[in-house]
A and B are shown apart, each in its own frame.
Chain A
Amino acid sequence: QFVLTQPPSVSGAPGQRVTISCNGSSSNIGAGYDVHWYQQIPGTAPKLLIYDNNNRPSGVPARFSGAKSGTSASLAITGLQAEDEAHYYCQSYDVTVYSSKVFGGGTKLTVL
Protein backbone atom coordinates (compact mmCIF):
# COMPACT_ATOMS: atom_id res chain seq x y z
CA GLN A 1 0.00 0.00 0.00
CA PHE A 2 2.84 2.43 0.84
CA VAL A 3 5.54 3.11 -1.73
CA LEU A 4 8.16 3.26 1.05
CA THR A 5 8.26 0.30 3.43
CA GLN A 6 8.95 0.70 7.13
CA PRO A 7 8.71 -1.83 9.97
CA PRO A 8 5.48 -1.33 11.90
CA SER A 9 7.26 -1.24 15.24
CA VAL A 10 10.63 -1.19 16.93
CA SER A 11 11.57 -1.03 20.59
CA GLY A 12 14.54 -0.43 22.81
CA ALA A 13 15.51 0.22 26.39
CA PRO A 14 16.60 3.64 27.62
CA GLY A 15 20.17 4.37 26.59
CA GLN A 16 20.15 1.86 23.75
CA ARG A 17 20.47 2.46 20.02
CA VAL A 18 17.68 1.67 17.59
CA THR A 19 17.40 1.97 13.84
CA ILE A 20 14.35 2.31 11.63
CA SER A 21 14.60 1.25 8.00
CA CYS A 22 12.85 2.76 4.99
CA ASN A 23 12.94 0.60 1.88
CA GLY A 24 12.14 2.13 -1.48
CA SER A 25 12.87 1.38 -5.12
CA SER A 26 14.57 2.63 -8.25
CA SER A 27 11.80 5.18 -8.81
CA ASN A 28 12.30 7.01 -5.53
CA ILE A 29 15.24 6.56 -3.13
CA GLY A 30 17.22 4.52 -5.65
CA ALA A 31 16.80 7.27 -8.25
CA GLY A 32 18.75 9.63 -6.01
CA TYR A 33 15.90 11.51 -4.39
CA ASP A 34 16.48 12.63 -0.83
CA VAL A 35 14.84 11.08 2.20
CA HIS A 36 13.32 13.06 5.04
CA TRP A 37 12.22 11.81 8.45
CA TYR A 38 9.44 13.02 10.71
CA GLN A 39 8.62 12.34 14.34
CA GLN A 40 4.99 12.38 15.42
CA ILE A 41 3.93 12.23 19.02
CA PRO A 42 0.30 11.09 19.31
CA GLY A 43 -2.15 13.97 19.11
CA THR A 44 0.36 16.38 17.61
CA ALA A 45 1.50 17.39 14.14
CA PRO A 46 4.53 15.71 12.58
CA LYS A 47 7.88 17.36 13.17
CA LEU A 48 10.76 17.38 10.71
CA LEU A 49 13.56 15.35 12.27
CA ILE A 50 16.02 14.74 9.43
CA TYR A 51 16.09 16.39 6.01
CA ASP A 52 18.04 15.61 2.88
CA ASN A 53 19.06 12.16 4.16
CA ASN A 54 21.31 13.16 7.04
CA ASN A 55 20.77 16.76 8.12
CA ARG A 56 19.22 17.82 11.40
CA PRO A 57 17.12 20.98 11.67
CA SER A 58 18.10 23.38 14.40
CA GLY A 59 17.00 22.06 17.78
CA VAL A 60 17.01 18.36 16.92
CA PRO A 61 19.45 16.50 19.17
CA ALA A 62 22.53 14.89 17.67
CA ARG A 63 21.21 11.56 18.96
CA PHE A 64 19.17 11.42 15.78
CA SER A 65 20.95 10.64 12.52
CA GLY A 66 20.00 9.54 9.04
CA ALA A 67 21.68 7.56 6.30
CA LYS A 68 20.87 6.52 2.76
CA SER A 69 22.29 3.78 0.58
CA GLY A 70 20.98 2.37 -2.68
CA THR A 71 17.22 2.04 -2.52
CA SER A 72 17.02 2.32 1.27
CA ALA A 73 17.43 4.78 4.07
CA SER A 74 17.59 4.50 7.83
CA LEU A 75 17.06 6.58 10.94
CA ALA A 76 19.23 5.88 13.97
CA ILE A 77 18.51 7.01 17.49
CA THR A 78 21.24 6.61 20.08
CA GLY A 79 20.96 7.07 23.83
CA LEU A 80 17.24 6.28 23.68
CA GLN A 81 15.07 8.38 25.98
CA ALA A 82 11.48 7.97 27.12
CA GLU A 83 10.51 11.13 25.23
CA ASP A 84 11.57 9.47 21.96
CA GLU A 85 8.52 7.21 22.08
CA ALA A 86 6.57 8.25 18.99
CA HIS A 87 5.76 7.34 15.40
CA TYR A 88 8.44 7.94 12.79
CA TYR A 89 7.80 8.42 9.07
CA CYS A 90 10.17 8.53 6.12
CA GLN A 91 9.32 10.56 3.02
CA SER A 92 10.80 10.92 -0.45
CA TYR A 93 9.80 11.72 -4.02
CA ASP A 94 8.66 9.17 -6.57
CA VAL A 95 8.76 9.73 -10.33
CA THR A 96 6.08 7.15 -11.08
CA VAL A 97 3.45 8.08 -8.52
CA TYR A 98 2.22 11.06 -10.53
CA SER A 99 5.43 12.86 -9.49
CA SER A 100 4.55 13.19 -5.87
CA LYS A 101 5.78 13.08 -2.34
CA VAL A 102 5.51 9.61 -0.88
CA PHE A 103 5.53 8.54 2.75
CA GLY A 104 6.38 5.31 4.47
CA GLY A 105 3.69 3.64 6.52
CA GLY A 106 5.29 4.75 9.77
CA THR A 107 7.09 2.98 12.61
CA LYS A 108 5.99 3.03 16.23
CA LEU A 109 8.97 3.30 18.56
CA THR A 110 8.39 1.97 22.05
CA VAL A 111 10.86 2.79 24.80
CA LEU A 112 10.78 -0.15 27.18
Chain B
Amino acid sequence: QVQLVQSGPEARKPGASVTVSCKASGYTFTDCDIHWVRQATGQGLEWMGWMNPIHGGAGYAQKFQGRVTMARDTSISTAYLELSSLIFEDTAVYYCGRVPARPSNYYGIDVWGQGTTVTVSS
Protein backbone atom coordinates (compact mmCIF):
# COMPACT_ATOMS: atom_id res chain seq x y z
CA GLN B 1 0.00 0.00 0.00
CA VAL B 2 1.05 3.60 -0.53
CA GLN B 3 2.92 4.85 2.50
CA LEU B 4 5.09 7.71 3.68
CA VAL B 5 7.15 6.88 6.74
CA GLN B 6 8.92 9.70 8.55
CA SER B 7 11.92 9.72 10.83
CA GLY B 8 11.65 9.87 14.60
CA PRO B 9 11.35 12.78 17.03
CA GLU B 10 14.11 15.36 17.26
CA ALA B 11 15.20 17.79 19.93
CA ARG B 12 17.40 20.78 19.14
CA LYS B 13 18.64 23.96 20.76
CA PRO B 14 17.83 27.38 19.31
CA GLY B 15 20.07 28.24 16.39
CA ALA B 16 20.63 24.63 15.39
CA SER B 17 19.37 22.80 12.31
CA VAL B 18 17.18 19.73 11.95
CA THR B 19 16.58 17.30 9.11
CA VAL B 20 13.43 15.19 8.81
CA SER B 21 13.18 12.33 6.34
CA CYS B 22 10.14 10.91 4.56
CA LYS B 23 10.45 7.50 2.87
CA ALA B 24 7.93 6.65 0.18
CA SER B 25 6.75 3.16 -0.72
CA GLY B 26 3.97 1.56 -2.72
CA TYR B 27 4.21 3.93 -5.68
CA THR B 28 6.76 5.42 -8.08
CA PHE B 29 8.49 8.13 -6.06
CA THR B 30 8.96 10.49 -9.00
CA ASP B 31 5.27 10.43 -9.95
CA CYS B 32 4.21 12.77 -7.12
CA ASP B 33 5.55 15.97 -5.60
CA ILE B 34 6.22 15.95 -1.86
CA HIS B 35 4.85 18.78 0.28
CA TRP B 36 5.71 19.64 3.86
CA VAL B 37 3.21 20.96 6.38
CA ARG B 38 3.75 21.69 10.05
CA GLN B 39 1.46 22.01 13.03
CA ALA B 40 2.28 23.58 16.36
CA THR B 41 0.54 22.13 19.39
CA GLY B 42 -3.12 23.11 19.40
CA GLN B 43 -2.73 25.10 16.20
CA GLY B 44 -3.73 24.70 12.57
CA LEU B 45 -1.87 23.43 9.54
CA GLU B 46 0.88 25.56 8.02
CA TRP B 47 2.19 24.83 4.53
CA MET B 48 5.98 25.06 4.22
CA GLY B 49 6.75 24.16 0.62
CA TRP B 50 7.07 21.46 -2.02
CA MET B 51 9.68 19.47 -3.88
CA ASN B 52 9.60 17.76 -7.26
CA PRO B 53 11.41 14.42 -6.95
CA ILE B 54 12.13 14.23 -10.68
CA HIS B 55 14.60 17.12 -10.79
CA GLY B 56 14.76 18.17 -7.15
CA GLY B 57 13.32 21.60 -7.78
CA ALA B 58 11.51 23.12 -4.81
CA GLY B 59 9.29 26.03 -3.83
CA TYR B 60 9.08 27.43 -0.36
CA ALA B 61 6.54 29.48 1.56
CA GLN B 62 7.80 33.02 1.94
CA LYS B 63 7.91 32.69 5.71
CA PHE B 64 10.60 30.00 5.48
CA GLN B 65 12.68 31.37 2.61
CA GLY B 66 16.37 31.25 3.44
CA ARG B 67 15.88 28.85 6.31
CA VAL B 68 14.42 25.77 4.65
CA THR B 69 15.74 23.25 2.15
CA MET B 70 13.76 20.40 0.62
CA ALA B 71 15.69 17.68 -1.13
CA ARG B 72 15.47 14.03 -2.16
CA ASP B 73 17.40 10.85 -2.81
CA THR B 74 15.61 9.01 -5.57
CA SER B 75 17.74 5.86 -5.08
CA ILE B 76 15.97 5.25 -1.76
CA SER B 77 12.69 7.06 -2.52
CA THR B 78 13.22 9.48 0.33
CA ALA B 79 12.49 13.18 0.70
CA TYR B 80 14.15 15.46 3.21
CA LEU B 81 13.23 18.66 5.01
CA GLU B 82 16.00 20.70 6.56
CA LEU B 83 15.16 23.69 8.72
CA SER B 84 17.98 25.86 10.03
CA SER B 85 18.38 28.69 12.56
CA LEU B 86 15.74 27.08 14.72
CA ILE B 87 13.72 29.20 17.14
CA PHE B 88 11.36 28.15 19.90
CA GLU B 89 8.37 28.78 17.63
CA ASP B 90 9.58 26.03 15.28
CA THR B 91 8.46 23.46 17.85
CA ALA B 92 5.81 21.51 15.97
CA VAL B 93 4.85 18.27 14.30
CA TYR B 94 6.18 18.20 10.75
CA TYR B 95 4.29 16.22 8.11
CA CYS B 96 5.25 15.20 4.62
CA GLY B 97 2.56 14.44 2.08
CA ARG B 98 2.32 13.51 -1.57
CA VAL B 99 0.25 15.25 -4.23
CA PRO B 100 -0.59 12.95 -7.15
CA ALA B 101 -1.09 15.66 -9.79
CA ARG B 102 0.83 18.62 -11.15
CA PRO B 103 1.14 21.53 -10.75
CA SER B 104 0.90 20.14 -7.27
CA ASN B 105 0.16 23.42 -5.49
CA TYR B 106 -3.33 23.28 -6.97
CA TYR B 107 -4.24 19.84 -5.67
CA GLY B 108 -4.90 18.05 -2.42
CA ILE B 109 -2.47 15.97 -0.38
CA ASP B 110 -3.78 12.43 -0.64
CA VAL B 111 -1.27 10.54 1.48
CA TRP B 112 0.40 11.88 4.62
CA GLY B 113 3.32 10.73 6.69
CA GLN B 114 2.74 9.97 10.35
CA GLY B 115 4.41 13.20 11.48
CA THR B 116 7.71 13.99 13.18
CA THR B 117 7.84 15.99 16.39
CA VAL B 118 10.57 18.60 16.49
CA THR B 119 11.16 20.26 19.84
CA VAL B 120 13.28 23.38 20.15
CA SER B 121 14.33 24.15 23.68
CA SER B 122 17.36 25.42 25.53
A residues touching B (Cβ–Cβ < 8 Å)? 2, 33-34, 36, 38, 40, 45-48, 51-52, 57, 89, 91, 93, 97-106
Q: Contact check, A34 vs B112: say whether CB atoms are below 8 A apart.
A: no
Q: How far is the CA of A91 from the CA of B95 in the complex (A)?
A: 15
Binds A, one of B13-21, B70-78, B81-89, B103-111: B103-111
Nearest first, the 9 A-B pairs at minimum CB distance are A36-B108, A45-B112, A51-B108, A98-B62, A101-B47, A106-B44, A103-B45, A105-B44, A48-B110
The interface residues of chain B lying within 8 Å CB-to-CB of A106 are: 44-45
Confirm or deny: B53 has a beta carbon within 8 angstroms of a beta carbon on chain A. no
When C-beta atoms are compared, the residue in chain B nearest to A104 turns out to be: B44
Confirm or deny: B61 has a beta carbon within 8 angstroms of a beta carbon on chain A. yes
B106 CB → nearest A CB, Å: 5
B residues touching A (Cβ–Cβ < 8 Å)? 35, 37, 44-47, 49-50, 59, 61-62, 95, 97, 105-115
Q: How far is the CA of A102 from the CA of B95 in the complex (A)?
A: 15
- The verdict on A57 contacting B113 (CB below 8 Å), with A99-B59, A104-B44 known, is no
The interface residues of chain B lying within 8 Å CB-to-CB of A97 are: 61-62
When C-beta atoms are compared, the residue in chain B nearest to A6 turns out to be: B44
Q: How far is the CA of A48 from the CA of B50 in the complex (A)?
A: 18
Q: How far is the CA of A91 from the CA of B46 in the complex (A)?
A: 10
The interface residues of chain B lying within 8 Å CB-to-CB of A89 are: 44-45
The interface residues of chain A lying within 8 Å CB-to-CB of B35 are: 101
